[in-house]
Every structure is written in structure tokens, then in C-alpha cells.
């Protein structure tokens, strides 16, 4: 029986191949919690937008990312060649957004027969080849209801407003063990209602204030503060850099703004990873809830199809667990 196995990246894909899983193994590599993910008329247009965002010009060129995505999507175009499609994904935000995209693409192709979901409660990439296939016991056939529900949430994520996405995060999502919590975690990356920093930014400030003052250990500490860690090192160091390289910095000590290319240079990488970080007076005030980052610095980020800026400032109220829409 011909099978297509789709999973969350190269580490998991390599382990599944090493474990001897039968079929074509396809890694899904997009970091969908970062950058614009708008509701485009065609998949090709979304690929163009995502390739432009993901390309760094050093490690990945726009052309290489675009080529990889086109080849990836061609497997879904050829879904009729596969009697069975297995989706192997973890519990974290990175994986759950990928899962929504894939299910939406399958829904658009009217493919539900033979689609099964393997929901791992831990990280696939940290498993061993001789143990990873145990998760196959957790497989669940994807029903038409599950497929359409995922497609609807994916559409909500790609809108220019977050209201529908917030509603999706509130209700039960039958069949998906980890999706609701992942959607809430996505909303927590919005500027907080009282101090203007995201949950990740707040965890960075808190950890530095507690004495974890070098970027390498800080990355590990912040990941350990998550129920389901989803950030890679590039993502984390970019967020860290943003708190230092802004009009009124919240922290100081980084030798330069983070770009992926610096990790390719041993001298620059060591200087960055081992630098000593300190909170500024503003950073301390923001951490204490006595100042608002958004009132001092430029906010410019995306959550799905919603562009979050100072003039279009969506916020998250932690206590109420509720979205706060921009005024007006």
C-alpha cells in the first residue's frame, strides 16, 4: 500500500525513515507562528509570501525556500497516488499550525479517505529510531467533521482580524488533543494588556532579572517555562534581539542584532551566545507592570493574517484570557 507520511521537520522525518516506516516521508518546514500568513486567493501566492519571509539570504535563499515549498505541495496535488496519508505531529504551537494548514489543503482537494492523524504528546525529534513508531498506536482516522473544522480554524487564522480565531480557541475541538491549548498559546504572543510584551518577551525579562543572563542558557530556561515549547533558536534570538535593538531598549548587552548568518561564524556566534545581558530601567519597569513597551517602542509583528502594529494594536489580557481589539 502506497503511503505519504507528513511530519514536522527534518529531524522527525529522518527518524521515521531510520525506523523503517513504509512510504514517502515529507517534512513540513514552515514556521507559521511567525510572519504574514494571509488569506490569499491561491496557494502559490501564499508560498511567495512565506518564502519572502523565511529567506534570510545566507542560509536560505528565497528561491530555495520557494522551490522546497512547491515540491512539498506537489505531493498533496498528487494525493490520489497514495492510498493512505499519515500526519505525524506534536503537541506544540509550531506543529499544530502546520497540521491546520495541511488539513485545510487536503480539504480543498476533497481528500479525507485514508487520512490518519498521529498526535504525539511529546517531541518527535528527540525520540530514538527504535522507539518513535510506538506513537503509531495513537493514530486516529480524520473524519469529514474534523477536516472541515481544521480548515475553518485555518481560515480564521489567516484573516486581518483575530476575532474568529479567538472564538475558535474557546470552544471544544473534537478529535484534536492539543489544538485548543496551542491556539491560546498563539494569542499569548500578542502584546500583553498591561505592559505591551508577549509571553515570550515577558519570560525573557523575568529570567534575566532572576540571573539567567547569557543568551544560550536563557534560551533553555525560556523553553523550560513552556508546557509545550515551540520556538527554535533563530526565533528565540530574533525576539531577544528585538528587545535590545529598539528605540528604548528593555535589555542591553548583545554585541549585535541577531541575523541567522552570525551562527555560521564561530567568533560572532560565541560573542552573541555568551554575552552578558542586563535589564534597562525601562525593562525593569515593564516587567513590574509599571510601563508599557508599546508606548515606548515600535510594534510590528504578525499573527497569521493580522498585522499587529502600534496603530492596529491587538492585545491579550492574561487574567481574563481574552483578546482586546484595537480601539475604534
How would DSSP label each residue in 9-59? SHHHHHHHHHTT-SSEEEE----TTSS-----SSHHHHHHHHHHHH--SSS
**The pLDDT of residue 169:** 83
| Beta strand 84-89 pairing with 115-119 | parallel
Q: Could you report the per-residue pLDDT of 128-171, keeping only the tens digit for each?
A: 999 999 999 999 999 999 999 999 999 999 999 999 999 988 87
Q: Exposed (0-12), middle (13-18) or buried (19+): which is 19, by Cβ within 10 Å?
A: middle
Task: Name which of 270, 215, 263 is nearest 241 in CA terms.
Answer: 215
Average pLDDT rounded to a whole number, residues 206-235:
97
> What is the number of alpha carbons within 13 Å of residue 10 lying toward its C-beta?
1
Q: Could you report the per-residue pLDDT of 300-320, keeping only the tens digit for each?
A: 999 999 999 999 999 999 999
Average pLDDT rounded to a whole number, residues 265-276:
96
Q: Could you report the per-residue pLDDT of 46-96, keeping only the tens digit for each?
A: 999 999 999 987 778 999 999 999 999 999 999 999 999 999 999 999 999
Q: Could you report the per-residue pLDDT of 191-209, keeping only the tens digit for each?
A: 999 999 999 999 999 999 9
The single residue listed with the C-alpha cell 477536516 is: 147
Query: Where are any strands of DSSP class E within 138-263?
Result: 140-141, 251-252
Question: Does the pLDDT of residue 239 top 90, yes or no?
Answer: yes
**The pLDDT of residue 163:** 95
**The pLDDT of residue 1:** 67
Long-range interactions of 182-186: CB distance < 8 A, separation 24+: 182/91, 182/92, 182/93, 182/95, 182/96, 182/97, 182/228, 183/96, 183/153, 184/321, 185/92, 185/93, 185/226, 185/228, 185/230, 186/33, 186/93, 186/97, 186/157, 186/303, 186/304
Percent of all residues in the chain with a pLDDT value above 90, rounded to a whole number: 95
| Structure-model confidence comparison of residues 172 and 115, the more confident one | 115
**The pLDDT of residue 306:** 98
When the pLDDT of each residue in the chain is averaged and rounded to a whole number, the result is 96
Question: Does the pLDDT of residue 279 top 90, yes or no?
Answer: yes
Amino acid at each position: 500500500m502506497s503511503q505519504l507520511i507528513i511530519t514536522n521537520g527534518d529531524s522527525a522525518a529522518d527518524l521515521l525513515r531510520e525506523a523503517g516506516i513504509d512510504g514517502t516521508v515529507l517534512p513540513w518546514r514552515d514556521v507559521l507562528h511567525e510572519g504574514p500568513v494571509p488569506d490569499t486567493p491561491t496557494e502559490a501566492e501564499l508560498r511567495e509570501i512565506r518564502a519572502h519571509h523565511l529567506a534570510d539570504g545566507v542560509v536560505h535563499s528565497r528561491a530555495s525556500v520557494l522551490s522546497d515549498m512547491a515540491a512539498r505541495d506537489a505531493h498533496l496535488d498528487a494525493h490520489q497516488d497514495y492510498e493512505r496519508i499519515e500526519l505525524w505531529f506534536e503537541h506544540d504551537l509550531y506543529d499544530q499550525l502546520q497540521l491546520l494548514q495541511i488539513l485545510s489543503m487536503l480539504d480543498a482537494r476533497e481528500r479525507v479517505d485514508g487520512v490518519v492523524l498521529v498526535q504525539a504528546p511529546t517531541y518527535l525529534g528527540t525520540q530514538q529510531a527504535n522507539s518513535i513508531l510506538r506513537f503509531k498506536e495513537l493514530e486516529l482516522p480524520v473524519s469529514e467533521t474534523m477536516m472541515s473544522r481544521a480548515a475553518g480554524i485555518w481560515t480564521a487564522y489567516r484573516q486581518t482580524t483575530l476575532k474568529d480565531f479567538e472564538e475558535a480557541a474557546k470552544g471544544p475541538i473534537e478529535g484534536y488533543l492539543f489544538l485548543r491549548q496551542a491556539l491560546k498559546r498563539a494569542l499569548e504572543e500578542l502584546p500583553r494588556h498591561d505592559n505591551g510584551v508577549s509571553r515570550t518577551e515577558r519570560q525573557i525579562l523575568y529570567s534575566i532579572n532572576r540571573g539567567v543572563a547569557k543568551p544560550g542558557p536563557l534560551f533553555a530556561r525560556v523553553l523550560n517555562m513552556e508546557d509545550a515549547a515551540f520556538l527554535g533558536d533563530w526565533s528565540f534570538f530574533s525576539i531577544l534581539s528585538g528587545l535590545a535593538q529598539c528605540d528604548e531598549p528593555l535589555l542591553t548587552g548583545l554585541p549585535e542584532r541577531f541575523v541567522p548568518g552570525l551562527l555560521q561564524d564561530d567568533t560572532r556566534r560565541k560573542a552573541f551566545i555568551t554575552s552578558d545581558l542586563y535589564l534597562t530601567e525601562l525593562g525593569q519597569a515593564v516587567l513590574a507592570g509599571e510601563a508599557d513597551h508599546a508606548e515606548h517602542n515600535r510594534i510590528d509583528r504578525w499573527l497569521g493574517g493580522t498585522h499587529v502594529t502600534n496603530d492596529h494594536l491587538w492585545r491579550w489580557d492574561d487574567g481574563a484570557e481574552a483578546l482586546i481589539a484595537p480601539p475604534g
